[in-house]
Structure 1
Amino acid sequence: MAETMRAARFHADTGKNVLEDVPIPEPGPGEVLVEVAFCGICHSDLSLLNGTFPPQVPVVVQGHEASGTITKLGAGVTGWQVGDRVVPSAGRPCFVCRNCRRGDLTNCLNVQLMAFAYDGAWAEYTVAQAGGLTRIPDNVPFEQAAILADAVSTPFGAVVRTGQVTVGETVGVWGVGGVGTHIVQLARLVGAIPILAFDINPAVCERALELGADHAFDPRDADLTAKVAEATGGRMLDVAFDAAGLAVTFSQALECLAVGGRLIQVGLSDQVASLGTTTSFGLSQKQVKGHLGYQNVDIETLANLVSRGRLDISRSISAIVPLEEVHRGIEMLENHEGDPIRILVRP
C-alpha cells in the first residue's frame, strides 16, 4: 500500500476545499481502515463551505456518506475481516458525556459528526470505528450503500422515530430533493396515505409522484391550503416534514397541519421561523420537533430493505464524479443541475 492518498480537505482559515496528497491514516484501537468506493455530496457538506455550519476543526476531510472495503484492522477489532464490504456511520459518540458514561452511546449528548469533527471520506481511504460499521449485503451495489449513511437513514429516522408515522396517517413533505424524496418513499413504505409533496420545481414534483407521492403541489399556489384540505378529505396533515428548512416552508407546513398534528423539521438553514402567537399555537395542540440523523441500526434495516427489494433507491444516484472533479460535483449540487437526489464521489 502507498503511504499517501488523495483527499479533498476543507480549510477553515480560507473556507475552501482543496484536493491534496496526505498520509494514509492508521486505524487505532477499535478502528478499521476503509478503502472508499463511493461517498455522497450532501447539502450539509455545502453548509460548511458557505459558512452556514461553523468549522469544528482547522482542517478536515469532507464527505460523510461512504461505502467501501475494510483494508486494515486496528488493535482489538473482532467480528470484521479485511475485504468486508461496509458502510461507516456518519457520526461517533464522544464517550465522555453523561449518557456515554452510562453506556448509552446511541443517545450521546455530544455526538461527533464525520467530516465536521473528524475526517470524512472524500478520499481514497477513511478510518472508521468498528462499532459503527454496517455490513453491505452482497446484492446491494456500493453506490446505493453509500447513501444509506444519511441521505436515506436520516429520512428513515425522521419518518419512523421522530415523526412516528403510522399506517393511514396523512403526510406532507416540503422540498423533495435528496432528503425529501426518501421521506416520500419511506412514508409510503410505512403506510401513510395520502402523501403530499411540495416543491417549486415541476420536474421534481413529477418525480415525487413517480416515487410514491399521491399529490404534488407548487407551494407558491395561492390556494394551497384549500388544495391540501381537498386532497386529504378535509383532514389536513397528521405529519408534515419540512426538508427545505426555510421560514416560508416551516410556516406553510405548520399551517397545513391538522389539530394535534406534528411538524418535523429536517432541513437546516440560518432563517428564523415563527410559531405564531402562543394562543393560536396552544389552542391548535400542534407539535414541532427538530430532527437530526439516525441510529446506526437504521442503516442495517435499510440495507436489508434494499437487499430484499422492499425499497428501491436505484434512481437516487443522479451522477458520479471522480475525486479529482469533486468541485464539479459541488457545483452541480449548488446549481441543482439535473435536479439531483444524490451526487457521488468516486476516489
Structure 2
Amino acid sequence: MLAGRLNITTGVFGVEEIPEPHAGPGQVRIAVRAAGVCLSDVHVIQGMLKPAALREGSVTMGHETAGVIDEVGPGVEHLRAGQRVLLLAGELMGDRIVTRGVDYDGGWAQYAVATAGTVVPIPDSLPFEQACFVPDAVSTPWAAISSTAGVQPARAAGVWGIGGLGVHAVQLLRLVGAAPVIAVDPLPAARSRALAFGADLALDPRAEDFNARVQEATGGLGLAYAFDFAGAGVVREQAVRVLGVGGLLVLIGLSDEPLTIPSATIFTYFQQQVRGHYGSRPEHIHELLALIAAGRLDLSRSVSDVLPLSEAVEAVHRLDTKKGDPVRLVLTP
C-alpha cells in the first residue's frame, strides 16, 4: 500500500510502498478515507518535535484519520466491519501519552491499524474530510476551552495564532458564549478568517494601540481568558499584560522558550493564572460529535483543499509555507 513515511534517523519524508498492516488482538483495521495535515506534522518532519516513544526507524505520519473498518481483530466485540469511524489522535501507554503518526504508525496511508479503544463511530451525515480532523484540530481547542479554562459565557477571551487550531478556538468560544472574542494574528488573511469564524474583533499584535484596543473592547476589564496557540514567548508576555483580575492564560502552542511574567507583582496582586494544555480526551470527541449532529458546529469551511495521498509532500510544503492560507488540508488515498 501507499504510505507517507518519515525516517526518524535521516529526517527524510516521502510517499512509498509498504506492506499492508493487519488487525491483531484488540485491534481493527480501517480503510482510510481522509487524513488531516496538521502543523505539528510539519514540525515533526522538520525535526522541531521529537517522538516520545519512537527512537529510530520510520513511521507512517498522520494523527487525524477517518475511514471505514474493514478488518476486526480477535477480542473486539463492540465494533464491526463497515462502520464509519474516526481515530483518536493518541492513547495512554503506561504513564505517558503516545501520539498516532508520531510514536506509532498513523493515517497517511491506504490502511491504518488502531486499538479498539481509540476508535469512535461517526454518523453517516458527517463527511470523512471533516471527521478526520475533529481529533486535534477541533478537540484540542475544545478541551482547552471547556475543561482546562472552564470558559464562562459573557466573559472576554483572546486567541493568539489563528491557524488550524486557533480558528476553531474562535468558533468554539463563540459557541459557548464568550464575549467579546478577540483574535490576534500578524497576518491580515488570518485576521479576516477569524472574523468570518465568529471573532468580534481581530487585532494585529504589532499595533501600537494594541493594549488600548483590548481594554476598550472589554470595557476596561481586560481578558478573562487568553489562549496561546502560537507557542511564542512574545505572545505569552503580551497576553499576560492584557489579562484582567483573575485572568487565565492557557498555553497550547508548544515552545521551549522560557515563560516570562512581565510583572510578577501585578500577576500576584490580580490573582492571575497560567495553565498548560495538551490534546484532548475521548469525552471531548463525543461532545463535539454531539454538537455536530445537533447542527451547532459546522466544519465545512475548515476544509481548505483535498489532495491525493501521493501528493503528501506537496501538502506538507503548502502548509509550511502557508500557500493558499489553509485551515486544513486533507489527504485521501
TM-score, normalization by structure 1: 0.92
Report the 3-state secondary structure (helix = DSSP H, G, I; strand = E; otherwise coil) of the residue aligned with 2:211.
helix
- After alignment, is 292-301 or 144-153 more displaced? 292-301
Q: Report the residue type matching 2:107 in the other structure.
A: A
Question: What is the 5 A alignment of 1:126-205?
Answer: 126-205=112-191
> Match for 1:245 among 221, 231, 242?
231
Q: Name the CA distance, whole Å, in 2 between partners of 1:252 and 1:277.
A: 12
**Structure 1 partner of 2:257:** 271
Q: Summarize the alignment of residues 1-347 of structure 1 with structure 2, pairs less than 5 Å apart.
A: 5-55=1-51, 56-57=53-54, 58=56, 59-94=58-93, 96-97=94-95, 110-347=96-333
Percent identity, aligned pairs only, is: 44
Q: Is the 8 A contact 1:68 1:87 kept in 2?
A: yes
Contact 1:176–1:205 (CA under 8 A) maintained in structure 2: yes
How far apart are the structure 2 equivalents of 1:321 and 1:270? 33
Q: CA deviation at 1:151?
A: 0.4
In structure 2, what is the Cα distance between the partners aligned to 1:342 and 1:111?
24
Deviation at 1:143? 0.6
**Are 2:221 and 2:245, in contact at CA under 8 Å, matched by a contact in 1?**
no
Q: Does structure 2 retain, via aligned residues, the 8 Å contact 1:137–1:304?
A: no
Structure-1 separation of matches of 2:279 and 2:253: 11
Q: What amino acid is aligned across from residue 182 of structure 1 in structure 2?
A: H
Q: Deviations along 1:12-48, whole A, 9 cap, x unmatched?
A: 1111212121111121211100111111111111111
What is the Cα deviation at residue 277 of structure 1?
A: 4.8
Shift of 1:279: 3.1
Gaps of 5+ in 2: none
Partners of 2:222 and 2:138 in 1: how far apart? 26
Q: Which residue of 2 aligns with 1:104?
A: none
Find the aligned partners of 2:127 and 2:148 in 1 and give their Cα distance.
29
Q: CA RMSD in A?
A: 1.2
Q: Say whether the 8 Å CA contact 1:52–1:269 is kept in structure 2.
A: no
Q: How far does residue 192 in structure 1 lie from its aligned partner after superposition? A: 0.5
In 2, Cα distance between the equivalents of 1:176 and 1:80?
Answer: 37
How big is each residue's C-alpha offset from its partner over 1:253-303, in whole Å with a ceiling of 9 and x where there is no partner?
A: 111110210001111133333123543432231111111111112112212
The structural deviation recorded for 1:309 is 1.2
Residues 63 and 114 of structure 1 are in contact (CA less than 8 Å); yes or no, is this contact kept in structure 2? yes
Q: Report how many aligned residue pairs link the two structures.
A: 330
- Distance in 1 (CA, whole Å) between partners of 2:30 and 2:67 is 6
Task: Name the CA distance, whole Å, in 2 between partners of 1:64 and 1:54.
Answer: 14
The answer as to whether partners of 1:135 and 1:300 remain within 8 angstroms in 2 is no
